[in-house]
């Protein structure tokens, strides 16, 4: 039984996450999940909760449910290393590629939002924000530069003098008591020299290096923007997959 590990208000999402990790770890070697009744019993949840979780996994293409056959795992989808349509923390993504991962916090700044960030977060340009910039290394090579910005008014307690390189969602949860419920994302290709940030020196790359830009605005359950992220990925090292399912 693992029921005690789940928070009631996020039960189906946590069941989904648990099953997804078990699939990735290769627990279900016969290529299918156990029958719903036995799986629900194993997890200590209702069949309704389990069905919500399975529906989410099916929507993402990870499983296929067939009447009379059962719930089949889609190995080609499971083995994708970096999905553009799937929220995965950068360190986990790089680990999926087999890299040795290191993360550094480059700076934590307290500043005015400015016009671009203010427009994305729906706040006045002079409102203070906290900006946290991190750099990911894959086998000692800098590959991802992420700048995350949170309105300072969301913080219920102060950040420590030294911020550890934890996922930004952990900081939102621990210091702001907030969670990102959904993201609105823009993606485009660029070259390092054309990027709006001065990344050539920071990422130690040539100005003609191709990069992917991922711009995210994260919203809470009340549809309030609480996080603005601007991420730069080296296109000469990383690529993304997209799983599209027919509705």
Residue 120's CATH number: 3.40.1410.10
Q: Is 36 within the bounds of a domain?
A: yes
Structural domains of the chain, count: 2
- pTM here is 0.78
Question: For residue 195, what pLDDT is reported?
Answer: 62
pLDDT at 247: 56
Q: Are 237 and 143 in contact (CB under 8 A)?
A: yes
* Residue 96 structure tokens: 């999926």
Given this model, what pLDDT does residue 84 score? 73
Same-domain check for residues 105 and 53: no
d(CA 232, CA 213): 5
**Average confidence (pLDDT) per 10 residues, the chain, 247 residues:** 49 86 84 90 90 88 87 86 75 86 96 96 96 96 96 95 92 96 92 72 88 94 96 89 74
Residue range(s) defining the domain that contains residue 24: 3-78
């Amino acid at each position: 039984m693992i029921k005690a590990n789940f928070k009631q208000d996020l039960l189906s999402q946590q069941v989904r996450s648990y099953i997804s990790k078990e699939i990735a770890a290769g627990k279900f070697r016969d290529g299918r999940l156990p029958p719903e009744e036995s799986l629900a019993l194993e997890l200590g949840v209702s069949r309704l909760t389990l069905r919500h979780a399975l529906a989410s996994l099916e929507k993402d293409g990870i499983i296929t449910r067939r009447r009379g056959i059962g719930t089949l795992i889609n190995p080609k989808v499971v083995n994708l290393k970096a999905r553009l349509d799937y929220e995965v923390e950068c360190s986990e993504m790089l680990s999926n590629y087999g890299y040795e991962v290191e993360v550094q916090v480059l700076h934590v700044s307290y500043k005015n939002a400015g016009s671009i960030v203010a427009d994305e977060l729906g706040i006045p340009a002079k409102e203070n924000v906290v900006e946290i910039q991190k750099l990911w290394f894959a086998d000692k090579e800098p590959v991802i530069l992420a700048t995350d910005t949170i309105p300072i008014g969301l913080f219920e307690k102060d950040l420590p003098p030294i911020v550890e390189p934890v996922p930004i969602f952990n900081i939102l949860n621990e210091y702001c008591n907030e969670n990102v419920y959904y993201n609105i994302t823009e993606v485009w290709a660029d070259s390092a020299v054309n990027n709006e940030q001065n990344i050539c020196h920071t990422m130690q790359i040539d100005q003609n290096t191709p990069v992917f830009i991922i711009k995210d605005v994260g919203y809470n359950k009340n549809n309030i923007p609480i996080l603005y992220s601007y991420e730069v990925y080296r296109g000469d090292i990383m690529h993304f997959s997209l799983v599209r399912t027919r509705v």
